[in-house]
A = this chain, B = another copy of it.
Amino acid sequence: MATKNQASGGVSRQVLADHVYEALLVALMDGRLEAGTPVSIDGMARELDVSPTPVREALARLEATGMVRRAALRGYRVAPLFSPEELADLMDARLVIEPANAFMACKHADPQLPGQLEQAIEDLKAAPRGPSFAEFRAYWEADERFHRLIAESADNQFLLSAYNALGGQVQRFRFFGGLGVTDADYAISEHTEILKAFVAGNAELARQKMIDHIEGAKQRSQHDSEVRS
């Protein structure tokens, strides 16, 4: 996410910290690193066959996403999975931010946006939905891209930061580790409704459809939580 490979070149010896970040992300999403597990800097360095320095930097970045937590002089631990209450809180927070994003993005009326949104929906339809992160990663990225496109088109870097900070956008998908994606059909349908509002240029409708979508996701996530427990 935060890293981007430079366009020119090709191989472009990537920074090690990026590899470590990626490896930790996959491990977290697959559920291999369970909630509460301590993440030893030295240990992880041995496991990935690198020095502790890039591991330290990768963990510092991960901490900002909320995936791990740091206690001074005690190291990092994997953040706990969301409780149903926290998941509901996350959706409430999204209900504050994302409808506003949709409204503003629709106001700006970027002519390229509808096409990009449609592409994201198509990718969502095509993506596999298996239980391992390697499988549902494409789904996650398509879903994320849809919401991020809207957040970016709102053209307000701070709202974008706020959206990013929710982070739960990432964490939410940790639930799918070992389960697979469960709400694809609903999500595709609701995304399409939002797209329609954008095509029509109806900002107020876009806001409302976004509300509908997130409230739907909220209810479905509650159901998933109960299944898992």
Q: Which residues of A are interface residues toward B (Cβ below 8 A)? A: 3, 6, 15, 18, 53, 56-57, 60-61, 64, 66, 72-73, 86, 89-90, 92-94, 96-97, 100, 156-159, 161-168
Contact = CB atoms under 8 A, between A and B. Distances in A.
A65 B73 CA distance: 22
**How many copies of this chain?**
2
Contacts of A89: 156-159
Nearest to A171: B158
Contacts of A166: 158, 161-162
Given A164-B165, A166-B162, A156 B93 contact: yes
A96 B60 contact: no
A168 B165 CA distance: 14
A73 B18 CA distance: 12
Nearest to A53: B53
Given A161-B165, A165-B161, A15 B72 contact: yes
Given A64-B64, A72-B15, A165-B165, A93 B57 contact: no
Given A89-B157, A156-B92, A162 B57 contact: no
A92 B159 CA distance: 8
A3 B63 CA distance: 13
A68 to B, nearest CB: 13
A72 B17 CA distance: 10
Contact of A73 (B15, B57, B161): B15
Contacts of A168: 158
A73 B165 CA distance: 25
Contact of A57 (B57, B100, B157): B57
Contacts of A6: 72
Nearest to A155: B89
Q: When A and B form their complex, which 5 residue pairs have the shortest distance between CB atoms, in order from nearest?
A: A165-B165, A93-B158, A162-B162, A60-B60, A64-B64
A89 B61 CA distance: 26
